[in-house]
Amino acid sequence: MGIKKHQSTIRRVLDCIARYKWAVAASLLCALFTVLLTLYVPILIGRAIDCIVGKGDVNFPGMWVVLRQMGVVILLTAVFQWIMSHSNNWISYRVVKDIRTQAFKRLEILPLKYIDSHSHGDIISRIIADIDQFSDGLLMGFTQLFTGVLTIIGTLFFMFYINPIIAAVVVIVTPVSLFAASFIAKKTYHLFQMQSRTRGELTSLIEEMLGNQKVVQAFGHEKEAQDQFESINETLRVWGLKATFFSSLTNPSTRFVNSFVYACVGIAGAFAAVNGLLTVGQLTSFLNYANQYTKPFNEISGVVTELQNALACAARVFELIDEEPQIADDKDAVVLEDARGEVLLQDVNFSYNPEVSLIEHMNLLVQPGQRVAIVGPTGCGKSTVINLLMRFYDVDSGSIQVDGTDIRHITRESLRTNYGMVLQETWLKSGTIRENIAYGKPDATDQEIITAAKESHAHSFIERMPEGYHTVITEDGGNLSQGQKQLLCIARVMLCLPPMLILDEATSSIDTRTEIKIQKAFNKMMKGRTSFIVAHRLSTIKEADVILVMKDGHIIEQGTHEDLLSQDGFYAQLYNSQFAVS
């Protein structure tokens, strides 16, 4: 299975390279000229040596002709080498760019269940670190593999041309070098694969610790985090050391065999020269060819080692690219425009894990413009309902309809455009405050953005920022308070004002005084719009048209705030527990 996967990865890499066949052809042509010119130099050296007939008898005119030829050949070799190197760089970085683009495009269409069930650090490691490792191996392969193979073929041709018998000795001993390189390469692929996987685990841990450092320090978890890091780091050291050690055996093994070949050529050539079968110049050329013949084996062995690492990394990236994307929109999917806001949940069943049931047989009809509050204990399925409404997840059975159309027959983009969403977990991108507010409406005017910020009560603190609306904030708004980040997220929705709203603990990070102002703004914003409000603080949902009380994935109570209190049921217990007088 591992060999098949290895071969499949090689085929896919070759398919990626094949897109640039003209550049590959140019690189191969330059490699051919480089090798031919390089191999022509020993012949010229032999001729120059043969111009030295004996003591005091040197053919200087003939030698100068040969030296001029050598100068021209060396200059042309340098030019072709530069063109080949430039072509290889061009091919390698474009192939890497294509693969990284494919990986990111696939990441954009992967279902959320994949993102939720895989370490974010490992995904990041695949798209960045693994592709960088692949790039290095691919570039080395292009630079040395082509010329190495052509040099071996060319030197064999010239050696057989000079003396077939000595050349045969070289060919007989060569398989030993190839066997050594092949044996070690097969052993190192698994080691590089484990090294790459462990590197992903380490990236994941660092990403997790970096994003939650305050929690780590608040709970005094530094020692445990350090121990966990050292454990994974030690595992990475072990795999890295093994991979490097076994791969490093390739070069000395092939060098030993190649030195043995060179010694055999030297001895056989010396006997041939003594017996008049070779001139001294030809023997010099032959020894040069023997040296050039063995040198590519050392280079190729190093390339093979790098390629093992590159292919192991490429395999991890291709695994991500091959992941099943989210179910595509139907071919006849409709575009939802200016939704009225009628939402129907009909016998909906859903669970993240098939073995653990969550939402079962949920039925709900929401009229256009209604405010629906969803309350219940943690884990009862409140946020899951939101995920289903936005079609971040599809229902296992049953249906969710908007304006009479099953949302599975509506394009995702148009469905989500008709929802405005403010979550408990804020998200801001690196950029200006203006860009973050206009995230859902990039063509908004400055006045529209300022109006939205004023309605969300964010305008005052924005004005106090160094550059106002053009102040650059760091990733995820790191230089803002949690409350300020939440206000910007609210302003983002205020700007778009879609026909349906989802407020999932939207005011959880805001002080009570500001919350009262925000609630007034929300009331204005929700007027005439279908709204779903998830809240733990029940004081914020008293004015909801319908309150759904959820428990264990079921709606157990439904009604207005007063109706539910009068029933003295589960909602009344929740409400009284928040306002109980001790």
Strand 343-350 and strand 500-504: the pairing is: unpaired
pTM (2 d.p.): 0.63
pLDDT band at 79 (very low <50, low <70, confident <90, very high): very high
Structure tokens at 229: 């890091």
- Of the ranges 51-60, 259-268, 443-452, 470-479, which one carries the lowest mean pLDDT score? 51-60
pLDDT(522) > 50: yes
Mean pLDDT score, 294-319: 75
Name the β-bridge partners of 559.
Answer: 547
Q: Do residues 471 and 453 make contact, with C-beta atoms less than 8 angstroms apart?
A: no
Percent of the chain with pLDDT strictly greater than 70: 87
- Of the ranges 33-47, 68-82, 107-121, 284-298, which one carries the lowest mean pLDDT score? 284-298
pLDDT(2) > 60: no
Mean pLDDT score, 364-388: 85
pLDDT(75) > 90: yes
Q: Do residues 400 and 339 make contact, with C-beta atoms less than 8 angstroms apart?
A: no
Of 500 and 422, more confident: 500
Mean pLDDT score, 208-216: 68
pLDDT of residue 423: 78
pLDDT(179) > 90: no
Q: What is the mean pLDDT of the chain?
A: 80
- Of the ranges 7-16, 155-164, 571-580, which one carries the lowest mean pLDDT score? 571-580
CA distance readout (Å), 364 to 343, 468, 475, 568: 8, 44, 39, 22
Of 245 and 174, more confident: 245
Phi, psi of 315 (to 5 degrees): -60, -40
Mean pLDDT score, 312-318: 84
Rg, Å, the chain Cα set? 35
* CA–centroid distance for 402 within its chain: 35
Structure tokens at 58: 């040197």
Q: Which domains does the chain have, with CATH numbers?
A: 93-321 (1.20.1560.10), 343-578 (3.40.50.300)
pLDDT(184) > 90: no
Name the β-bridge partners of 406.
Answer: 401
Percent of the chain with pLDDT strictly greater than 90: 2
